Amino acid sequence: MNNTLELQGISKAYTKGVAGRIEVLSGADLTVAKGEVVALVAPSGAGKSTLLHIAGLLDSPDKGTVKIDGVDMTTLSDRKRTTARRDQVGFIYQFHHLLPEFSALENIVLPQLANGISQAKAEAHALNLLDKVGVKPRAAHRPAELSGGEQQRVAFCRALANAPALLLADEPTGNLDPTTSDQVFAALMELVRDTGLSALIATHNLDLAARMDRQVTLANGVLS
């Protein structure tokens, strides 16, 4: 099995108020091979978030199939799909969404404990991840005591804590100034390469897109 993610013929429409029916995705196809990092480039409103939510099993397509590691997720029960999402997909957003009352370390330990990992193992793994992104000295700090770049680095570690097969990121450095964005993106790429993870990363930033393995563009509901 060489593809971590396979989207085939994905269609999704929303019906709302005076706007009527908006078809956001119209038969979109995409594969992300094992270890591949793909940039998803699209103008605002083109449907990037919709596509990422469908790929990450947070939303269902009207039509089409979503395969992760070769398994067709669209045929699974809701319960099995929720488990698959928890075990196989890591999410990173523009905002870090860390739990404010917990330290950086605890934010990375908690999802592992929820997955049945022991406290000692979870802490060792969290510290190792924090070390990789250069935030280990800040392990005991709460999110509010970290810089924007550090918060995002911690969010990367949390997304990878349970070793997902697939990483999905929606403008992961979109909240940061250009210099910090550049450095934080480099840290993310290093982490992804180091773990051999497959990733789909949405960005408006063409310089960042050029640093990934391949770019796909979303326009008029299809990917090319």
Ligand X SMILES: Nc1ncnc2c1ncn2[C@@H]1O[C@H](COP(=O)(O)OP(=O)(O)OP(=O)(O)O)[C@@H](O)[C@H]1O
Q: Are 169 and 201 in contact (CB under 8 A)?
A: yes
Contacts of 112 (CB under 8 A, 6+ apart): 121, 122, 125, 126, 161, 162
Between residues 155 and 157, which has the closer beta carbon with respect to ligand X?
Answer: 155
Nearest distance, CB of residue 145 and ligand X, angstroms: 29
Between residues 40 and 133, which has the closer beta carbon with respect to ligand X?
Answer: 40
Nearest distance, CB of residue 205 and ligand X, angstroms: 12
Between residues 45 and 116, which has the closer beta carbon with respect to ligand X?
Answer: 45
Nearest distance, CB of residue 54 and ligand X, angstroms: 10
Nearest distance, CB of residue 218 and ligand X, angstroms: 7
Residue type, 53: H
Summarize as ranges the residues that interact with ligand X (CB under 6 A): 14, 16, 22, 24, 42, 44-50
Between residues 49 and 175, which has the closer beta carbon with respect to ligand X?
Answer: 49
Q: Are 222 and 28 in contact (CB under 8 A)?
A: yes
Buried b (16+ CB within 10 A) or exposed e, 75-102: eeeeeebeebbeebbbbbbeebebeeee
